[in-house]
Structure 1
Amino acid sequence: MPELPEVETFVRALRRPLVGRTITGARNDWPRHVVVPRPDELRERVTGRRIEAIDRRGKYLVFSLSDDETLIIHLKMTGHLSVVPAHTPPDPYAHTVFELDDGHELRFRDPRKFGRVYLVHDPADVLAPLGPEPLPDEFTAGELAARLAGRKRVLKPLLLDQTFIAGIGNIYADEALHDARLLPTRRSDTLTAEEIVALHAAIRNVLALGIDREGASISSYVKADGEKGDMQNAVAVFRRTGQSCYTCGGPIERIVLGGRSTHFCPNCQR
């Protein structure tokens, strides 16, 4: 599933061709793609709306439209967004398409059909449960400490909880815990003040690196232009089971934690 860096990469790529454009129509061949409103109402409400801004909240893309409408898209596992000329041959996996006033289309390609589309007047209807964004200056080590206070959870599943911190998924949770030298099975209520500072820095470091490298093309993710990201060439532990740790030379191990594959170095992460 695309995580914060991958979604941020989409946002940055889509701003140039989309901001300022007017949506002239929409079509959908998989009704469950659209959570709210009904697909026919989506088409009616977006037609004639200008795209004024594109931002990100956690793993969601947020399109601010004219007349106080907000289009929100979650890519889920295999979702991909691209802007192509309208005469481009149809894609059978592009289940939701937005037609634009310049002869292009925004196509939401989603082979496994897990992606979701929302059109709302108030973004909080969808985004309110999310935890804080981890990259703004307001997210300090003190804020992380405050959010950890009173929680007694295993670290890896806690980092994946989008109500705790928004945007972190399996790849960057593993990478952040390795960077902070923390065992994924460690309980959150056992962290020292110094370890919380280290975890805070690690989260920000690996997410920033992921953005700089335009995401990790480890599974199905590719950028809006169809090219691969480069973060897969910079991971320290994720999907490196049995390979040597770059820090200590010991083998990377894999366990299943909270139903998710978890990769770590047992020597470095204690």
Structure 2
Amino acid sequence: MPELPEMENYKILLNQKIAGQTITEVQINREKSINLNPALFIKTCHHQKIIDINRRGKHLLFHLQNGQILLLHLMLGGWIYYGTEADKPKRTVQIRLSFGEQHLYFIGLRLGYFNLYNQREIDQHLAHLGPEPLSTDFSLENFLKRIGQKHGRLKTTMIDQEFIAGIGNCYSAEICYDAGIIPTKDIDDIGESEREKLYQSIRTILQKGIQHGGYMDNPLFKDDKLTGGFNDLCQVYDREGEKCNRCESIIKMETISSRKTFYCPICQT
């Protein structure tokens, strides 16, 4: 599932590709992927200019000239591609936004959605999200206060979108590895120095993920060399049975709250 770095990568690249462009056609192939009657959805978006694309947590927000906002959450299996009909992936497309000869394809939206809202509805829909971990407002003091109010296993807290927005399975594993803390540990057993290290690792790993285009390896456009670059840099995520790059012990996987959790039993304590 795309997390903060993947969606931030999409945000940056899509602003370069389609910000300021006008939607020339809207194609809806799966009505369940949107929240309105298709005719109304198409009418509201058609001939509208994309003013800007922002991100909140794991969501992308496409701001239209008429003040409406398209809210995208890819969920598990969702991804997007920008290009022509000739070079698009041979996959089922749920939604397509056209910009002349170039198109933005939304693929794998079986669980995800691309909904149309006004600003008030957007505010309500995203009100439950916790702070942005790379925001200047997300200080060490803020983090220590928030985690001080939590109990239970670290993994469960790290992926709680009300605690911090944008972190999921992949980056929670990589953050805990970087901090040297086992994700199965109870928060009450994590000392203040470890909590401070965890805060630094959150910022370090997420910034590194963005810098390398996230871990999802589907390119956003033809000849895209950035997207997915972090996949080869993952230290523990999806590496069960492989050797740890630090100590050469074997990476383990456990299931916590129905989520696969990867860690090094030696480096993480």
Give TM-score, length-normalised by structure 2.
Answer: 0.91
Q: How far apart, in 2, do the equivalents of 1:150 and 1:181 lie? A: 22
**What code does the residue aligned with 2:25 have?**
G
Q: How far apart, in 1, do the equivalents of 2:192 and 2:138 lie? A: 16
Matches within 5 A, 1:71-82: 71-82=70-81
Q: How far apart, in 1, do the equivalents of 2:39 and 2:158 lie? A: 37
Give 3-state SS (helix, strand or coil) of 1:240's partner. coil
Q: How far apart, in 1, do the equivalents of 2:44 and 2:239 lie? A: 47
Q: CA RMSD in A?
A: 1.9
Moved over 4 A (4+): 86-92
Q: Which runs of 5+ in 2 are unaligned?
A: none
Matches within 5 A, 1:110-259: 110=108, 113-122=110-119, 123-217=122-216, 221-225=217-221, 227=224, 229-259=228-258
**What code does the residue aligned with 1:251 have?**
I
Q: How far apart, in 2, do the equivalents of 1:241 and 1:89 lie? A: 33
Q: How far apart, in 2, do the equivalents of 1:16 and 1:69 lie? A: 21
Give TM-score, length-normalised by structure 1.
Answer: 0.91
Q: How far apart, in 2, do the equivalents of 1:54 and 1:147 lie? A: 29
Structure 1 position 131, deviation (Å): 0.9
User: Would you say the 8 A contact 1:148–1:189 is kept in 2?
Assistant: no
Q: In structure 2, do the counterparts of structure 1 residues 61 and 244 end up closer, same or farther at CA, with 3 Å as the change threshold?
A: same
**What code does the residue aligned with 2:11 have?**
V
Q: How far apart, in 2, do the equivalents of 1:89 and 1:56 lie? A: 24
Give 3-state SS (helix, strand or coil) of 1:23's partner. coil
Aligned residue in 2 for 1:37: 36
User: Would you say the 8 A contact 1:10–1:223 is kept in 2?
Assistant: no
Q: In structure 2, do the counterparts of structure 1 residues 39 and 90 end up closer, same or farther at CA, with 3 Å as the change threshold?
A: farther
In the TM superposition, what whole-angstrom CA distance separates every residue of 1:2-23 from its partner, at most 9, and x where no partner exists?
1111111111111122111112
Matches within 5 A, 1:20-99: 20-34=20-34, 36-85=35-84, 93-99=92-98
Q: In structure 2, do the counterparts of structure 1 residues 240 and 92 end up closer, same or farther at CA, with 3 Å as the change threshold?
A: closer
Q: Which runs of 5+ in 1 are unaligned?
A: none
Give 3-state SS (helix, strand or coil) of 1:128's partner. coil
Give 3-state SS (helix, strand or coil) of 1:174's partner. helix
Aligned residue in 1 for 2:8: 8
Q: How far apart, in 2, do the equivalents of 1:241 and 1:54 lie? A: 36
Q: How far apart, in 2, do the equivalents of 1:194 and 1:168 lie? A: 21
Aligned length: 264
